[in-house]
A and B are shown apart, each in its own frame.
Chain A
């Protein structure tokens, strides 16, 4: 069935909540309103207000309470309405969710999913367009998963919900309704920690995730580019990345987030360490500048454009 990402995620939530009655949703406006993006539309009607919970306005308490629910034995899927508001909950994520299993030596664990819309280009006010995934990638004990379209959104969310440890699930807001594709109606799960080969090629490896995959695919039209959709950033699929770079000898990372200390830095370091003898030239990163994401009027100058991606491809192909 043709679905956009909103429908695919709704579908995944419904499927998992049917499959396992420990799965509960909580967050602001997720219940009666069905979520501000309609992601949880209809779910409270089906599963009731004890499983689809409208919480008071308080990201730290939403995540903190979700941690307590997980410790008690439920599988909470907490929604943070926009990534910019997850900062209030970082203490709970880093000081607790990420290390509860360690602290209790396995006596307690945290099978928690925190879902949040991320990324720029939706003409929204400040803090509604963040892409700070690298913060979470640096913290052991937390997984970071980023779908790029409806099909992998459903499959990755199913895996995230089934994972016994905390997962930050970043949904590219700009792509919520932009892409429609064929999505099986039945249940399926895409394993975490595995990248997807979005396109095969021989001359250069383009590595992207989330909001930038669709843009990388369009920009690389006419190039003999192999395009890797990471799907999971932490832990990332080193094998797929290195195998590809060993084949092509050229690597370009496309990241929406600001350049410095972004996840592309980890990719570049890993490639340089493990595949230096296969590289014809440097690992390039096409990223946003190191500034606060601007509001709507300037955001197209901020995000990696198709043009900038092609410039990077042209440059690396000189080697």
Chain B
């Protein structure tokens, strides 16, 4: 008889590009100069989108809005590795993913303004609707991966969520199913270290979130979430592994939520400004710019121009979003089910007769 170790695991952390723009050449993914510039443009566009969203909310032109400030690399870096045939299940703080995958920016603004038409994913994109209920979309992602396997489709599914979601039952149930069925799925956690006012150290007792995957039979790896190259590298490898039939991976992107949880929150009530400043020094955009400048890929003029173009794109998107005619009130009946019951049809007619057009907000 004896007492001995029967299993153990190691948790890798990947860092490629540091805050000063220095790079580990051995780990740099195979991206051309143009690829890198494109990645940077998407980072800038994501930040410009977010900046404008916050401003619009303050003016009453957008509803409550969850900022992605500081998390751009985790979103753009991972989304760049996703193929058109792949399926994506986002939570509610993935606008950088949406933008990178080509989701129309006007629709994003319309969604956050409370216009349901903003949530209608274009046919060409395999992106599930924004999921507000924390973590509850993870079993959906697992189901889609299972269905893809049943159909013999060689695709991968990506599911995004935050640190808070790792406390939810659905997270554990989804991970368990993914492991047991060896599914083609990549779980990506944007650990921005805060769930409204709860720091991640009070969310879980483990040292990392990545290690939770080992309990379900597959690898969890942590990456510097503010490092677009590390995020891209890890996601690309995980998606290839998934597509090849080698099963799931969990990628924890350790990043930081620079802004408040949403525009309805005031983070200064529960965290020190010094901590925010510390993470601002690890900015995901700045390090890419410094790296490209060092390589002779980027100039002051390029920097000025990329921001001008981004803001121009955003201006146009906002104008398009706000030019949409208001929805008819009867619209609320039109997607409840494929066939309305006689009662629902009566209710719909009554609403139309009442002159149901979206009420004047004043």
Contacts and interface: CB of A to CB of B under 8 A. Distances in A.
B177 A141 contact: no
Interface in B123-140: 123, 128-129, 133, 136-140
A72 B148 contact: yes
B313 interface: no
B189 interface: no
B180 interface: yes
Contact of A91 (B133, B144, B146, B341): B133
B341 A235 contact: yes
B115 to A, nearest CB: 11
B170 A71 contact: no
B143 A105 contact: no
Contact of A64 (B87, B128, B139, B149): B139
Nearest to A165: B337
B19 interface: no
A56 interface: yes
A238 B342 contact: yes
Interface string A88-121: 0001100110001111111111000000000000
Contacts of B173: 56, 58, 60-61, 64
Contacts of A56: 173, 176-177, 180
Interface string A169-209: 00000000000000000000000010000000000000000
A107 to B, nearest CB: 5
A72 B170 contact: no
Contact of A164 (B129, B137, B151, B338): B338
A61 B150 CA distance: 18
B333 to A, nearest CB: 10
Contacts of B145: 68
A8 B338 CA distance: 27
B142 interface: yes
A95 B343 contact: no
A250 B343 CA distance: 23
Nearest to A63: B139
A74 B334 CA distance: 23
A92 B150 contact: no
B170 A239 contact: no
A65 interface: yes
A240 B111 CA distance: 42
B337 A141 contact: yes
Given A61-B174, A68-B141, A101 B147 contact: no
Contacts of A66: 143
A61 B129 contact: no
B342 A109 contact: no
B116 interface: yes
A100 B337 CA distance: 10
A69 to B, nearest CB: 4
A92 B133 CA distance: 10
Contacts of A108: 121, 128-129
A177 to B, nearest CB: 32
A74 B143 CA distance: 10
Contacts of B4: none
A77 interface: no
Given A61-B139, A104-B120, A71 B180 contact: no
Contacts of B177: 55-56, 58, 61, 65
A168 B145 CA distance: 24
Contacts of A92: 136, 139, 170
A16 B68 CA distance: 46
Interface in A260-311: none
Contacts of B341: 193, 235
A319 B119 CA distance: 55
B344 interface: yes
Contacts of B144: 68-69, 71-72
A3 interface: no
Contacts of A239: 342
A70 B139 CA distance: 12
Contacts of A71: 128, 140, 143-144
B117 interface: yes
B169 interface: yes
Nearest to B149: A50
B336 interface: yes
A114 to B, nearest CB: 13
A164 B336 CA distance: 11
- Best-surrounded residue of A65, A69, A108 (most CB of chain B within 10 A): A65
Given A58-B177, A72-B143, A104-B121, A64 B138 contact: yes
B270 interface: no
A32 interface: no
B335 interface: yes
B180 A68 contact: no
Interface in A33-58: 50-51, 53, 55-56, 58
Interface string B183-212: 000000000000000000000000000000
Interface of A: 24, 50-51, 53, 55-56, 58, 60-61, 63-74, 76, 91-92, 95-96, 100-109, 140-141, 143, 163-165, 193, 235, 238-239
Given A61-B142, A143-B337, 17 more contacts: A56-B173, A56-B180, A60-B170, A64-B139, A65-B139, A66-B143, A68-B147, A71-B128, A74-B147, A91-B136, A91-B170, A96-B137, A101-B335, A105-B120, A107-B120, A109-B338, A193-B341
Closest 9 interchain pairs by CB?
A68-B143, A64-B139, A235-B341, A65-B143, A61-B173, A68-B140, A72-B147, A105-B120, A68-B144
27 contacts: A51-B150, A55-B177, A60-B169, A60-B173, A61-B173, A64-B136, A64-B139, A64-B143, A68-B139, A68-B143, A68-B146, A69-B143, A71-B128, A72-B148, A73-B151, A92-B170, A95-B136, A96-B133, A100-B129, A101-B336, A104-B121, A104-B129, A106-B334, A108-B128, A164-B337, A193-B341, A235-B342
